[in-house]
Amino acid sequence: MRIAFLNWRDSTHPEGGGAEKYAETVCAGLGALGHDVTLLCARPDGAAGLELREHYRVLRQGGRLGVYAATLRRLRRLERAEGRFDVVVDTQNGIPFLASLVTRTPVVVLVHHVHREQWPIVFGPVAARVGWFVESRLAPRLLRGQQYVAVSERTRTELVELGVDRDAVTVIHNGTEPPLATGTAPHPEPRLVVLGRVVPHKRVEHALEVTARLRERYPGLRLRVVGDGWWSERVREEVHRLGLEEHVDLLGHVDEAAKHAELAAAWVALAPSVKEGWGLCVVEAASHATPTVAYRDAGGLSESIVDGSTGVLVGDLDELTAAVDRLLGDPAERQALGAAAVRHSLVFSWARTTQAWETLLAHRAAGLPAESGTDAQGGAVSRRS
């Protein structure tokens, strides 16, 4: 198949994160299976317009908002010059590309999560209202009849609440890479880790507050923040306000080996996000036997964590603090959760994710419903709960 994958950003973008990891890994996996794959995304400053990767090509155009119109123009030019694609993946990161407006090629709409909570955090009140109107009212109408993919059952439920037909939504979970053999043991002193982009809706400040509340109970306690983003300076200011300079390390962006070493060294991972589609950081930590504590109402985190078995889900900051306190003080529970987390992480492989995508795209390209195939958990593609 000739496949076009439209995504807001790729990993070269300063704000790239889990959604970009998902897009690039699926593109590479489909390309390795012999398909002709093109990823179209925004072009940040200094990035090349064309990049040829091992199994797919990347075409970059447009900025933060201009990427939508620029990508649709590029898609139309590509189809005129090279012929129609067999199928187009339109990633709705709050706002869809609406690829079906410019192509007669079958379209699949990928949604990581619904952005109800993020709009007012990231944007001003007017832009937030407009964005939420587009996502919650306009997009479901314009995309009615399209095939959707959600990365979690929670996201599928939220799409149904917006008016999307449940039977039109297939769930294909994230995969995870086999853990790098770092040779790193858990640190001898209590250590917490937060992994991800440093942006407001990730709420790194909650991890700082937990550290501030527990530092007297655990004098050697350290929080390691792995990741970078435009909110980093505000987080640094909060570290200073709370007097946590001796307890918090803001590591910024690190390479894969360093990232895995941090996850392996941590006693507990924290994921205090407002919303996640799945929670790739959770499964990556789990692969190193590090359990995660997160909020139960934060989208797909309630699926990437099996509450009480592979990690802990909580309701608010007080419960987050209490759960971390309990795990730091109870090595037996922490190790039991970690062992179960490892087993759980092995269920999710990128190979299975890619296989599920290949099956679904083949059905869509042929005009057939997504009735069968293999999802990221190794069972039948999930279309109905």
Q: What is the pTM of this model?
A: 0.82
DSSP state of 46: T
Please classify residue 143 by burial: count the beta carbons closer than 10 Å to its beta carbon, then call 0-12 exposed, 13-18 middle and 19+ buried. buried
Paired tokens of 100: 């079906």
CA distances from 231 to 236, 250, 259, 371 (A): 9, 12, 20, 43
Please give the pLDDT value at position 184. 87
309: Cα separation from own chain's centroid: 22
- ∠ CA 228-5-117 to the nearest 5 degrees? 50
Please give the pLDDT value at position 299. 84
CA distance 292 to 270: 5
Residue partners of 105: CB distance under 8 A and separation at least 6:
4, 79, 84, 85, 86, 87, 88, 99
Please give the pLDDT value at position 370. 66
- DSSP β-bridge partners for residue 87: 3
Half-sphere exposure (Cβ direction) of 114: Cα atoms closer than 13 Å: 24
Q: Are 186 and 268 in contact (CB under 8 A)?
A: no
* Sign, CA torsion 337/340/341/344: negative
Domains of the chain: 2-175+349-365 (3.40.50.2000), 191-345 (3.40.50.2000)
Please give the pLDDT value at position 381. 41
Q: Are 28 and 51 in contact (CB under 8 A)?
A: no
CA distance 215 to 244: 9
Please give the pLDDT value at position 16. 73
CA distance 149 to 352: 15
The two beta strands, 107-111 and 87-91, are parallel
Residue partners of 355: CB distance under 8 A and separation at least 6:
373, 374
From first to last of its 385 residues, what are the pLDDT tens digits of the chain? Answer: 999 999 998 988 877 778 898 999 999 999 999 999 999 999 998 899 999 999 999 999 998 789 999 999 999 999 999 999 999 999 999 899 999 999 999 999 999 989 888 888 878 889 989 999 999 999 999 999 999 999 999 899 999 999 999 999 999 998 888 777 788 899 999 999 999 989 999 999 999 999 999 999 999 999 999 999 999 999 999 999 999 999 999 999 999 899 999 999 999 999 999 988 888 899 999 999 999 999 999 888 988 999 999 999 999 999 999 999 999 999 999 999 999 999 998 888 899 999 999 999 999 999 887 653 334 444 334 443 3
The two beta strands, 292-295 and 2-6, are unpaired
- DSSP β-bridge partners for residue 58: 39, 51
Please give the pLDDT value at position 13. 83
